[in-house]
Amino acid sequence: MTGASWGVSAAGVIVWAACWLLLRHYHHLHDAAHPWAVRAAIAFSYVAGCAIALTALGGYVTAALGWMLGTAGGPHGNAGHAAVTIAAGALLVSAVVALIWRPLSQAAYLAAAVPFVLAVAGGHLHALLGIVPAPQVVEAISKWIGG
């Protein structure tokens, strides 16, 4: 793993920590800003999750998730793949619904978990990571750091 990959992982952790702080203290903002603050936290949590899941730290987390799923037949077995596929779809839909129609602070935590579940699922679901430009943001940060 390169230093840039670890740098992007650290940047993802820092962005997620900033989202967590925003979610803890957004009630100090004006009431009209609450939904927009939560929407920003959901979007940035997803980007932070992609930054972590697609770099060095995410490799370790994804391997740990695969190991935990291995006790139930693994993510590539029939039952494991079905469970991961359903979970990935449910997490993705809940994050999108929260971002557009019902901004809840709990959805930001789900949005941060979506890239990890999509990475474990693999296949066509892994390709969903490219729909939202978060991987391009991660790649740009990596190039800026020097990787």
Look at residue 131 in the predicted model and tell me its pLDDT: 57
Tens-digit pLDDT profile for residues 87-103: 777 887 888 888 888 88
Least confident of 5-14, 47-56, 66-75, 105-114: 66-75
Mean pLDDT on 132-143: 64
For the whole model, what pTM was predicted? 0.74
Structural domain range at position 57: 3-145
Distance CA 76, CA 84 (A): 9
Tens-digit pLDDT profile for residues 47-87: 888 888 878 887 788 778 777 766 555 555 666 667 777 77
Rounded to the nearest 5 degrees, what angle is found at the Cα of 22, between the Cα atoms of 16 and 28? 175
Query: For the chain, what is the mean pLDDT?
Result: 77
**Which of 18, 27, 32, 14 has its CA nearest to residue 108?**
18
Look at residue 21 in the predicted model and tell me its pLDDT: 92
Look at residue 9 in the predicted model and tell me its pLDDT: 81
**Which of 22, 11, 92, 107 has its CA nearest to residue 51?**
11
Mean pLDDT on 44-48: 88
Q: How many domains does the chain have?
A: 1
